[in-house]
Structure 1
Amino acid sequence: MTTPHLKLFSDTESTATVENKQLTDLNLNDVQQLLESNAPIVSIAGLESKASQKINQILATASTALSADWAAVYLLDDDTQNLILINCCTTSKVFQDAHEIRTLQFSTADLEALTGHVVTLESKQRMEYWNAPIQAQSGICVPLVANDMPMGTVWFGFNNPLEPAQTLSALCEVIADRVVDYLTSRLTPARDVKHRDLSDLAKQWQHSRLAYENVEIKGWDIQGWINPEAPIHHTFYDWQLRDDGIDISVAHAQGLSIEAALTTAVIQTGVRASSNQMISPADTLEHVNEYLWQGCTGDQFADLCQLSLKKDSSQITFSSAGSTIVLHVTANGIRKLASGQATPELGVMDYGEYENHCCVTQKSEFLIILTENGFAAIEGDTSQAKILKIQRAVGKGSRLSAGDMIKRLRKLTLNLVEEDASIVVIKRQN
């Protein structure tokens, strides 16, 4: 079979518009009219040489972040007759037989998506009725649009039914927008407003996954903070309560905004998946590193500090990958823990060897955990100068709550502006 040519849209202006129509009013001629353009035609081989690797990377990372079992990109051919599968990734053999060339006229969900909105199919029956490209329990179809012109669709398939969620649909739109960036190789000023709007949607999804700012368990006061001014979060803090204590995570992903946001979601999912196994912080880091390698493709790097404490103990056990800063605040001053013992970030190697460190705290002492960019925002040319700045701001700190300590640290990091950062403060109460 001859593979149809693909139509990729250039940055030239177009007078065509996208109309929202009911499915019953939509026909093939409507879609053809939407796709009239003088754009260049590119072969699949040419596409693979330019964008396929980046698209595959974000599909794999997005699938892991969304807990999707299959993800794929379909592009319209130049005759607007077919949808061509150009990239897909899956964690299940069941989904390896997705249709590679689909007739647009009978691709009901794709036709609806091409009118300009996300189509969520919550059940297996709806997947069949809407002619999805795979047999799955549920799926999401998102339009690919450049310069107000449809290019194709992105699909996500799931092995379980879906509950409709605006934040989930919003994140899928963000992912689709990034795929368009890779396909067209452009990030023009005209797209700044759209990127900001999509980043706001992605940020809402991130906030739906954040832990509460404050948690108290017997003997401990714990407070977290993440920069609310950041356009999209590259960091997070999280905690999982246990019967005998709590596990705490602070992470910072590197890379482009959307990719880094997806990486943090992958790490957070990996940490939560490990929380029920009652393992040490170092073992958790090893599991998450393995999870990151298995679930993502390409350069996905992140710092992660994992801590564990018990209700009936004054000891905090922690392990760190990368450059997260851990400070112990006592009546005698502030000490940087595990100094000079930095280990590689998550994602650098396909295996990780991390060490557990212990800190024994006394009543009214603190542990402060800052992401690298949070610590860097504090005034001072050296690490010790920054620590002295913190010391002057908090004093001995014994009368402060964890929330009060966060407020004082926040005053030292005001120059962060839109750069993301996370801070967690732990206080021993008795």
Structure 2
Amino acid sequence: MQQADLLTKGKEVNTKPSLASGASASSHLLKIPPEVRDYIYDLMLAFECRDHLNLLCVNKQVYGEARGSFFRRPLDCKSQDDLGDFTNTWPYRVQQSITNLKLRLEEVKPQAVAPWITGQAAQHPYLMEIHRITSALAKLPGVTHLSLLRPSEAGKNTPSSIVMTQVLNWIAEHYAKLHVLKLEIEQCHIGCLGSIKELQSLQFSGFSETSPTRTTEVLSKLTSLERLSVVGPPRGLLMRQRFGYQTRITQSAIHQLLERIRPLKHLTLTQVTDPRTDVSIFLNLKTMKALYDHHRESLKVLKISSSTTPTPAFVEFLSAFLLDTPNMQELSLTWPNMEITLVDYISRSVRRLEFAIGSTEQAKAIVDRLVLMQYRLRYLQRIKFNIINEGIEKSIEEEDKWGLFNFSLPIQNLAA
């Protein structure tokens, strides 16, 4: 765990800077206006945890002012076992201060199932696992940012649908102040999310065990939702379904969701599909029509990314949409073989741009084109380019080695 490395278990770090250096650092820092000091404390989130902790050790006043920013750092738990160790070891006041939790969940271990099979356990291991996870979460009542992630090791499975759904139900009931939720696991029902009234940001794969109609109904109840990120489909799901694999996971996010939810300020659509198929999961004309009709005036940030080139019809509709968005401030378009003519349709309010290109020559061509349009793009401040490699051709024998869903990824950034 990230924060668990900062202190020895159950004991605070014994950091004793010299009297002269501590007095000098604190005297200069405390001469800065309070609002500037708060900004500095927030900037410390980009530094190593150890550096951030050292700042807290300057003196009592700095500790009191910077403590809140320190506990906004994510508590990174590699599994539910890691979470249990943290809540059983650390003091109550530390647990109460945690606001950001990244939790990876994995399936019940075989040794936990064995007693149930042999009749030595009175309770089903899934029920015991649900109780163990929720009991640990109950000790962190201040969580406002939560990420529920897959196991980091490829050989480990995600929890069963029963465990994951019950944990999510508990979170929806007890984390009433939850503002940001990232859900990376699809084996669950998400019908409970509608009760998290203060949820402002949601990221999920667009797939779950909840039907599209029910998902649309549930997420339309989120009256505080401003940011939506859909990154999918899950790796390998479409291939398994194409070959007859039976699963309860279905596409939950469709165009009707964008028609029913409140107008968004920030939208990310990332479509990762097998380049050998023509399946368009999210990037289709119905999606663009829903965006135009319901989110055109509210959107400030739009990020669209795809592992394959969208259809010409989609790109044409997107061009018309971009030209008619009055409040767009940040735009990111990333997919192979993107036409540079898209820059002609950028809204005049845009401040930041990000494009996928195949070469530095293409980047220069885009910059030259934007220079000619500077009379219209007067607010543009920053351009970022992602250079995409050419795809790697591989034989069938190499599929197991490289995987079925490899595609070109950005490897170099150029600033214009």
- Tell me whether the two structures share a fold, i.e. TM-score over 0.5: no
| Higher RCO structure, 1 or 2 (CA under 8 Å, sep 6+) | 1
TM-score (norm 1): 0.29
Q: Name the structure with the higher helix share.
A: 2
TM-score by length of 2: 0.29
